[in-house]
Amino acid sequence: MKEESKYNYKYGKTYSASKNKTSRDFSFKLIVSKIKKVFQISTPSFGLKLKSKDSTTVKSDLPKKSKQKFNFRSKFEKASDSISGLHKNKFFLGSLALLILFAVILTGYNYFSNKHYIVYADGEPIGFVRDEVELDLMLSILHDYGPSADEEAYVKAMEALGNEDEEVADAPEEPTEPDDAPIGSMSVATSEEESQDDAKGDQELNIEDVIDMESRDKNFNIVTAISTELVYTEPEELPQLTLTKLKESVYIETGAAVIMINGEEIAALKDYNTAENVINVIVESYLTERGGSKIVDHKIQEDIEIVIKPVPPEDIITRDIALNLLSTGYTERQVHVVQRGDSLWSIGNQNGMSVSEVKECNPQLTSNILLIGQEIAIEPLIPYVHVETYEKQTTIEYIPFSTSYTEDNSMYTWESRTVTAGVRGRNEVVYDIVRVNGVEQARKKVSTERLSDPVTRVIARGTKTPVATGTGTFIWPVDGGGRITSPFGNRRGGFHYGVDIACSVGTRIFAADDGVVTTSAYHRGYGYYIVIDHGNGFSTLYAHNSRLLKSVGAKVSKGDVIAYSGNTGNSTGPHLHFEIRLNGSHQNPMNYFR
């Protein structure tokens, strides 16, 4: 097995030739002898039988002839012909052996040069490559680009690899040490320099540098085990492996900064700095001083840790999504978009919530008035991060003043004036306040310092009563008459203390008798109204006017225009509400008209 490479994948068993190859004898004699055995070729004989040592006569296979001398010349020529034929046979056999050897070598070369590598992903074949360099390059591209890797990146990488090989081939040789230099002198100096550089690097490197380097590492890890198998024929049932096929067959992870809260993985971000920024932004959002308070300390209730670890690329979220998740508990909170006619009650009713629950989900709301298009959250806040702040608040608290009254006989009984204005006292109070995510949880008063005492308000009230000028008889108060729409007495389960006289808006209203105006004001029920004191315990009231012409203290005579009729206050239509009182008791006006 090959060792695990920097790309975090593993190879399976691969083909490798034996280091101790056995020597082969390629001598001509050996080849010829083997060929003879194969083809059963025997060495040709001369066809002679020589006389043995013990034999006295020599038998010959030649025909018997008359006794004659031995012909040595003819025998020699026959022997020469036999030897020549033998030499010719040897030349032919040698040539044939060489041809066979060449064919064997060529066949072996073709066989062994037709290497293919079947690629396995977790034991499953996914394709083949012709050279392991192709696979290494694909894995390297996936390590650098992850899911975004494509075939174009592979082609560019192959071209770059080819250019790099050419540059290496053309590069000049590195200078060597001079022959007379002491052995090992240069290596010793280099080692010292490297040691100095390493020491310098160790001094300058700190944890922040490590974190920053980790955050810059965008490489991806291939978790799937990759192995290869060497074969000498092209696999017929498997396609040639492509980068796309390899990417689809492996599981890829990338280094990310994972925010751990109480040991649970909550959010994965692209780097450490981004994850740290998310935590800082959430904490700082609750460290804003408000209402004169000063934050003296704070803490995060949860145990938060940022861990650099591999995660699937699709699990990495953006900074904004992480902020929303940790602050609200949702990556995307469900909201209701306000339409015409919506209210907090109707929105809550549609979602099974009370108005108070809707407000709890939307702490930013400061009013019950909603705007069309406004987004109202309808899911409760379940934040992952709770920031507890300890604040010291210095505030001014006011002490209410009291009021006293004096009598002034220069003013009528309905008149009054302020003699001394009241002034509130002031205390400087210091509180210790505990808030969690901006919501007050506890308040403790630490100290109180009196800055000023309150000043009592003094009011003078009149005791003077007007001279009785009334005649005791009253005229009809509406110009043109008008029509009574509601008489004095019981009305719809209640009691009507006057008479309603219907008239158009702007009709003149007359003083029913001589007297002094004691009230000229607006009342939510009476609208704009006037009260006239006629003396002898009588007073009249004129209500629902559109405009008042007399102010308090004005003396009026019977028949003076004091107002214009209207429809103000609690009124169902333009009219005058007219009352007559005697010593504060309501009377039926119809009994007093003359």
Mind listing the pLDDT tens digit of every residue in the chain (594 residues)?
A: 333 333 333 323 232 333 333 333 434 444 445 444 544 544 444 333 434 344 343 444 444 444 445 555 565 566 566 655 655 666 667 777 777 777 767 666 555 567 889 999 999 999 999 888 888 888 888 888 877 777 776 777 777 666 655 555 555 555 544 444 333 333 333 334 444 444 433 333 333 333 333 333 456 788 889 999 988 888 888 999 988 888 888 888 888 899 999 999 999 998 899 999 999 999 999 998 877 789 999 999 999 999 988 888 888 899 999 998 998 888 777 889 999 989 999 998 888 888 888 888 888 888 888 889 998 888 888 899 999 999 999 999 999 999 999 999 988 877 889 999 999 999 999 999 999 998 899 999 999 999 999 999 999 998 887 776 777 789 999 999 889 999 999 988 889 999 999 999 999 999 999 999 999 999 999 999 999 999 888 999 999 999 999 998 888 999 999 999 999 999 989 999 999 999 889 999 999 887
DSSP state of 589: G
DSSP letter for 572, please: S
Angle at 232 between CA 239 and CA 124, to 5 degrees: 45
Whose structure tokens read 């405009």?
547
Two tokens, residue 160: 């770059």
- 524 Cβ partners below 8 Å, 6+ apart? 569, 570
Tokens of 54: 């013990």
Counting Cβ atoms within 10 Å, is residue 469 exposed (0-12), middle (13-18) or buried (19+)?
Answer: middle
The SS3 assignment for 202 reads helix
Helix then strand then coil, in percent of the chain rounded to 5, is: 30, 30, 40
Q: Of 328, 278, 285, 341, nearest to 304 (Cα)?
A: 278
Give the burial class of 243: count Cβ atoms within 10 A of its Cβ; 0-12 exposed, 13-18 middle, 19 or more buried.
buried
Q: Is 441 left (phi over 0), alpha (psi -120 to 50) or beta?
A: alpha
pLDDT number for residue 393: 93
Specify the pLDDT at position 451. Answer: 95
- Please name the residue ranges forming H helices in 314-369: 319-328, 344-350, 355-361
* Crossing angle (nearest 10°) for helices 151-170 and 132-145: 120
- What pLDDT was estimated at residue 503? 95
CA 43 to chain CA centroid, Å, is 93
Which SS3 state, helix, strand or coil, does residue 107 take? Answer: helix
Dig out the tokens for 482 from the structure.
């008008």
Please say whether the beta carbons of 82 and 44 come within 8 A.
yes
Q: What angle do CA 520, 524, 526 make, to 5 degrees?
A: 55
Round to whole Å and give the CA distance between 70 and 58: 13
Helices 207-216 and 272-285 meet at what angle, rounded to 10? 110
Q: What is the distance of C-alpha 192 from the center of its chain?
A: 49
C-beta of residue 425 within 8 angstroms of C-beta of residue 453: yes
Pair type for strands 538-548 and 561-565 = antiparallel
Q: What pLDDT is recorded for position 535?
A: 86
Report the relative pairing of strands 293-300 and 116-121 from DSSP bridges. unpaired
Answer yes or no: are the C-beta atoms of 566 and 505 closer than 8 Å. yes
Look up tokens 């009507």; give the residue: 496
Q: Which two tokens stand for residue 156?
A: 């560019």
Inter-CA distances, 487 with 103, 170, 483, 532, 569, Å:
137, 121, 10, 21, 19
Residue 520 confidence (pLDDT): 94
Alpha-helical regions (H) of 146-236? 151-170, 185-204, 207-216
How many other C-beta atoms lie within 10 A of the C-beta of residue 23? Answer: 5
Radius of gyration of the chain (CA): 59
Beta strands in 85-154, from DSSP E residues, in sequence order:
116-121, 124-129
DSSP state of 83: H
Dump the DSSP string for 266-326: EEEESSHHHHHHHHHHHHHHT----TTEEEEEEEESS-EEEEEEEE-GGGB--HHHHHHHH
- pLDDT at 136 (0 to 100): 87
The string of DSSP letters for 9-68 reads ----------SSPPP----HHHHHHHHHHHHT--PPP-S--PPPSS-SS---SSPP-S--
**Domains of the chain and any CATH numbers:** 1-15+99-158+209-250 (no CATH), 253-377 (3.10.350.10), 390-463 (2.20.230.10), 467-591 (2.70.70.10)
Which residues lie across from 310 on neighbouring strands? 255
How many CA atoms are closer than 13 Å to the CA of 481, on its beta-carbon side? Answer: 1
CA atoms of 349 and 205, how far apart (whole Å): 61
Cα–Cα distance, 288 to 393 (Å, whole number): 13
